[in-house]
Amino acid sequence: MRGWLCSFSGLPALCALVLFPRLAEAQNYDFGTEWEAEYTRAIVKGTEISIGEELRFKQMSTRFTKTETTLGLSQSLWRKSLKQHGVKLRLGVSYAFIYRYNSKHYYEDQHRLNANVSVTKKFGDWAIGYRMRYQTTFRNERIGDYKYNPQMYLRNRIGVSYTFPNHPWKLSLSEECFLRLNHPSRKIVDELRSVASASYQIDRHNSVSIQLKAAIEVQVKNPDRYFALGFAYEFD
């Protein structure tokens, strides 16, 4: 028990290692809070549907800036043959309706389509995962004029997690890059996102988590630097 508490008490230091390089270089930055809830239900073995809701507050967490409602479908591939090797492979698609406060200081509605593939490999209590996501966001041309619409991104995320044996806690770290695909001038990585999180499994059907996030724009003029404290609840 004492060893587990010592390990968990090291979470702030672990998060600082991830976020400190970002904070050190940030001159103009914002801080916010994010709230999420997601319900998942298995249709048949290996196939799941999910619905989620997310709220974001920026400008030092004083202004509501985004709500996102997501409906998703995912499918596990070769479950039995991969399970014996500690590997999980999933394909997924999702649709999201987004209402957000944009950089031109007005609210707009957006529609987003995602398609992703993810793979996870377990090494005892540790796991390493990779996810590739193709993301397309359609913006509302009736209330704004945009240089390019839709916005298309290829997102690549790699992460590592540790599950405490005989305890309901799990710690995770991830890094993600955003490659814009259809910008009129350059196809570049324009955002890096780091996340450190701790999750607690309440029972078989309910879990909660807290996370620290740093989202840094790169290779663009006047890059945004955004840091957030997030809370999530998942149930099935």
Distance, CA of 129 to CA of 102 (rounded, Å)? 32
Q: 219 falls in which pLDDT band (50, 70, 90)? A: confident
Q: Give 135-162 pLDDT, tens digit per residue.
A: 999 988 777 666 778 999 999 999 999 9
Domain of residue 24: give its range: 2-235
**pLDDT at residue 148 in the model:** 76
Q: Which amino acid is at 174?
A: S
Beta-carbon contacts of 166 under 8 Å, excluding residues fewer than 6 positions away, are: none
Q: Give 92-117 pLDDT, tens digit per residue.
A: 999 999 999 987 778 999 999 999 99
Q: Give 54-70 pLDDT, tens digit per residue.
A: 999 999 999 999 999 99
Domain count, the chain: 1
The 3-state secondary structure of 44-101 reads: ECCEEEEEEEEEEEECCCCEEEEEEEEEEEEEECCHHHHHCCCEEEEEEEEEEEEEEE
> What's 37's domain CATH number?
2.40.160.40
